[in-house]
Structures are given as C-alpha cells and as structure tokens.
Amino acid sequence: MTGQLSASWRPGAARQAIIAFVERTVAEVPVEERVAVFDNDGTLWCEKPLPVQLDFINRRLAEMVAAEPGLRERQPWKAIAEHDLAWFGALMAQHYAGDDTDVRLLLVGILAAYADINIEDFEQRADEFLRTAQHPTLGRSYLDCAYVPMVDLLEYLSANGFTNYIASGGGRDFIRPVTQDMYGIARERVIGSTSSFTYTGDGDGGAIMRRAEVDYLDDGAEKPVRIWNRIGRRPLIAAGNSNGDLPMLEFTHRADRPTLRLLVRHDDADREFDYTAGAEQALERARTDGWTVVSIKDDWAEVFSTTDQPSFL
C-alpha cells in the first residue's frame, strides 16, 4: 500500500469500501491486472445544467444558424435559435426512458457541427474552449469543475499500481486535450464516442478529417465492448453515475479477484446539483447487488477546488 485516501472523502461506508478494496488488490493482484475505468460526465466532472461538450457544440450550432438562417426550422438548431435549453434536458430523460427520437436529431447536429474539419483544428478548438469557457451557473472555469474527491481517488489508485482509464459517453477527442492536466490520465487512455474519419495524403504529412457519421457511441452496452477492445481486460474497479454506465459496472466483475463498483449519487443541491433522472435503474441495481453508492452530500468533504484557478495552473 502506498499513501492514504485523501480527506476529501469523509469517513463512512464508501471510503471504507475503497480502502478495503485497494488493500486487498495490492496484496492479491499483479500490477498489470489493476485496471480502473471511470465515466466522465457526472462522475469525474459536473454535467449539469447541461453536459460540457453540449455547451461546446451549442455554440457552434449558433454560429451555423447565424450563417444559414434556414436551419432555424430544424432541430437541434431550432432549440438553439429559440434559446430552448429545456429541449436538450428533456431528450436525455427520453433517452434513459428508451426513446432516442430527439437524441438522433441532436446527433445529426453534433456530427454536422464539426464535419470536414481536420483532427488538429478540432482539438485546438476543444482545448481553447475547455481552458477559457466558464460554467454557466457555478462561476468557475470548466477545468475547475472536476470533482476533487474523484481526482484524489485517481491519484490514490495510481499510487497503488492501478492504470486509470476514462470510458466516456462523451466525445473522446473533445476531452483528450485536458485529461492529463485534469485527472493525470494520458490521452491514449481515453475511451469515448467518436465520429468516423477519413485520411487524405498530400505528401506533407496528410490530413485526417472528421466525417458527419458516427463511428460508435460509447454508452450503455457499448461501454464494455469498447473497454475490452481498448484494454483487453475486465476492470477491477469502475465508477459511473447513470443508467448508461450500468453495463460497464456490471462488466466489472471477476470471481477470482477483488472488484469494486462505485455509483455517484447527485444529492447535494447546495454544493452541486440534486437529481436522479437517468440513474434510476443504476441506483436500483446498486441497491440489489450491493454496489457502493457514493453520496456527494454525505461522502465528500468538498466537491470542487476552492482555489480561484484550476488546481493544475
């Protein structure tokens, strides 16, 4: 065992479960098998009142409406033109209820927003946005919206021989520019949703261009598939916060190894947000199967960094 779990985790069942799991894993499991996977939105950083990447996309959709007013008649550009942010919130509730009608409309907009842009230009735009934009209600940079206890947990696991991965339903290439700075997770250990690409040679390095079509959406049952394709191992610990993470948490099971499933419950309206929409099935599964539920209100001594600047600056 190396180090201690930070005091950002209050004494209680969640903290005890994490420490007991790490102690047993260090004693019983070779380093190469110590794999940890974490969802990002709502697990490592704040996802309300709308996901960070959706703010990024919405700003681009607004630019498209300004350039082509006819888009106002189509979703999701219509919602942007009418400042109807409730439409975006409602579609996620519909998604977790099994209705992806509006999700598919949003996906068309997401893919169109950055179609035919090369990978370097997209990364530069994402990086600039993440390092300069402010959260709409919390009064802090998006880069300072990481959950301190989860960052501390990543550091604790890393110190004890774990290799940490992100398995995000959000865009892989959107978060890659900042994961090392925010979480200590190298860009090559980011698994997430992505568009398809095409390569064109030009005798000078060539160009990889984004296409307006999905390669895969890393959510739900796709998460375990992508984790296996990328890592080739079942994780020993996984953390999520929604029904979309349920298959990933379920996949994190080894009969011959210690395992830990963490489900973050958003129940702190004073310091963050209070909601269970989109997590009902996961919370019920955690209750029936004995997974570890992490209460933001009860288990975290702090939620966000109290510094005026992101902690890595």
Looking at the structure of the chain, the number of domains it has is 2
What's the CA gap between 203 and 187, in Å, rounded? 27
pLDDT of residue 307: 64
- Segment 218-247 shows an average pLDDT of 97
Give tens-digit pLDDT for 172-182. 999 999 999 99
pTM over 0.85: yes
At 47, is the pLDDT very low, low, confident or very high (cuts 50, 70, 90)? Answer: very high
Does residue 99 sit in the same domain as residue 174?
no
Same domain for 78 and 189, yes or no, is: no
Higher pLDDT pick, 298 / 100: 298
Query: Among the three residues 82, 100, 132, which one is the final residue of a domain in this structure?
Result: 132
**Encoded tokens for 129:** 């946005």
**Which token pair is 4?**
């201690």
Structure tokens at 209: 């261009």
What is the pLDDT confidence band of residue 310, given thresholds at 50, 70 and 90? very low
Q: Considering the chain, what percentage of its residues have pLDDT values greater than 70? A: 97
pLDDT at 308 over 50: no
Residue 223 CA to residue 169 CA, distance in Å, equals 8
| Average per-residue pLDDT for the chain | 93
Kindly state whether residue 103 falls inside one of the protein's structural domains.
yes
Check whether residue 56 and residue 80 sit in a common domain: yes
Q: Hey, what long-range contacts does 217-222 have (CB within 8 A, 24 or more apart)?
A: 217/107, 217/169, 217/193, 218/167, 218/168, 218/169, 218/172, 218/191, 218/192, 218/193, 218/194, 219/169, 219/193, 219/244, 220/244, 220/246, 220/247, 221/247
Asked if 149 and 219 sit in the same domain, the reply is yes
3-state class (DSSP) for residue 206:
coil
Kind and range of the H or E element at 166? strand 163-171
Q: Where does a domain end: 132, 162, 187? A: 132
Q: Are 76 and 209 in a shared domain? A: no
Band (pLDDT 50/70/90 cuts) for residue 237 is very high
Residues 115 and 149 in one domain: no
Token pair 């994190």 in the structure block, residue = 252
Are 25 and 69 part of one and the same domain? no
* H helix runs in 209-300, sequence order: 222-231, 246-251, 280-289, 296-299
Domain holding 165, by residue range, is: 13-49+139-299
pLDDT reported for residue 309: 43
Q: What average pLDDT does this structure show over 19-47?
A: 98
Boundary residue ending a domain (132, 159, 178): 132
pLDDT digits (tens, 9 = 90+) for 106-148: 889 989 999 999 999 999 999 999 999 999 999 999 999 999 9
Q: How confident is the model at residue 295 (pLDDT cuts 50, 70, 90)?
A: very high
For helices 13-28 and 148-159, angle between their N-to-C axes, nearest 10 degrees: 20
Together in a domain, 196 and 226: yes
Return the closest-CA partner of residue 304 out of 157, 151, 159, 184: 151
Region 51-78: mean pLDDT is 94
Round to the nearest angstrom and report the end-to-end CA distance of the chain: 29
Query: Which amino acid type is present at position 259?
Result: T
